[in-house]
Structure 1
């Protein structure tokens, strides 16, 4: 049976033959505080819907955090509209789609991928499913609309949260 590089890599990961240091390149240390230049758009949106206290005080949570560059790819006009709207329910829905209850580290995502034969599904706190698969060495998330986001920095811990930086905004529904 011929195996594609992604499937054979996933098979090796499932068998445990690759060390975690070989799975990922060395991650740069990122500040995940409100002062983080890479996530200022995300933190502004979290504050706009008054979720900062909830995320800080309860949990644990896993956050798939779009970088500022990811929000720029999304649509600055749509983001401004969401941020300035009186009714912030659509913005809150978007943000809660990026959060999963529990500590979902990269190794736990990989184990779920192994158990799911290359695919895994996670329920967000928004209530919709987010699927994951591997492309080469990358964990890729897919939303119900078909948009994808790669985890670019994994396992950034901050208090009761595990944060994975992603390169695109994912959507619970068409926006």
Structure 2
């Protein structure tokens, strides 16, 4: 009888020990899993931060060579740069995108009649008109000089395209030089083409394009 009781007690103790061991193992497994999840989360956060830093650096580099930045470094385009800022279009031309800008030189703005001068258009009450005029000089997508020449020749000498403001421009060739005709029938010449920027290309023109 005593022997049976001893065996029973031994079995109970063994079972208790085994159960305790199982609980300890389960706790160890749970702790290990929690630690692994914490490490994985920390690694994911580090990678996300590194990715953000790379994207910020890339964006900063892009903005430093954007259309707005490239134009601001050209003394002959200072009037245009001031106008773009007054119309709040500098952000659009600084951020990622793809644009072709026909940029009037300072001399081009000086040719404008007084009522359309940059001094008048730059007034707060004329901001809407200034914006429309500037948008008439911007086209979505990159159009290089070679592409524009090819398009002109492919369209039997006159190629019409639409600006971001929804208005049309017509391009043609005269003595191997590119000309643009605005809605009022005025013509201007591209005097410097293919000025590259990170978000597009700039073609300098010697007149301001006007809408009806």
Structure 1 or 2: more strand by fraction? 1
Provide the C-alpha distance between the structure 1 equivalents of 2:137 and 2:158, rounded to a whole number of angstroms.
18
Structure 1 or 2: more helix by fraction? 2
1:159 equivalent in structure 2:
198
Deviation per residue, 1:53-104 (Å, 9 max, x gap): 1111142000000000011112355321110133411000000000000000
Where does the alignment leave 5 or more consecutive residues of structure 2 unmatched?
1-68
Provide the C-alpha distance between the structure 2 equivalents of 1:36 and 1:114, rounded to a whole number of angstroms.
31
Provide the C-alpha distance between the structure 2 equivalents of 1:172 and 1:61, rounded to a whole number of angstroms.
20
Contact 2:120 2:126 in 1 (8 A): no
3-state DSSP class of the match of 1:54?
A: coil
1:69 equivalent in structure 2:
107
Choose from 84, 87, 108 the match for 2:147. 108
Provide the C-alpha distance between the structure 2 equivalents of 1:58 and 1:100, rounded to a whole number of angstroms.
15
TM-score by length of 2: 0.64
3-state DSSP class of the match of 2:125?
A: coil
The structure whose RCO (Cα within 8 Å, separation 6+) is larger is 1
Contact 1:120 1:132 in 2 (8 A): yes
**Correspondence 1:37-52 to 2 at 5 A:** 37-52=75-90
Residue 188 (structure 2) pairs with residue 149 (structure 1):
yes
TM-score by length of 1: 0.78
2:128 equivalent in structure 1:
89
Deviation per residue, 1:137-168 (Å, 9 max, x gap): 11000011001110000000121120000010
Provide the C-alpha distance between the structure 1 equivalents of 2:126 and 2:161, rounded to a whole number of angstroms.
27
Contact 1:49 1:91 in 2 (8 A): yes
Residue 175 (structure 2) pairs with residue 136 (structure 1):
yes
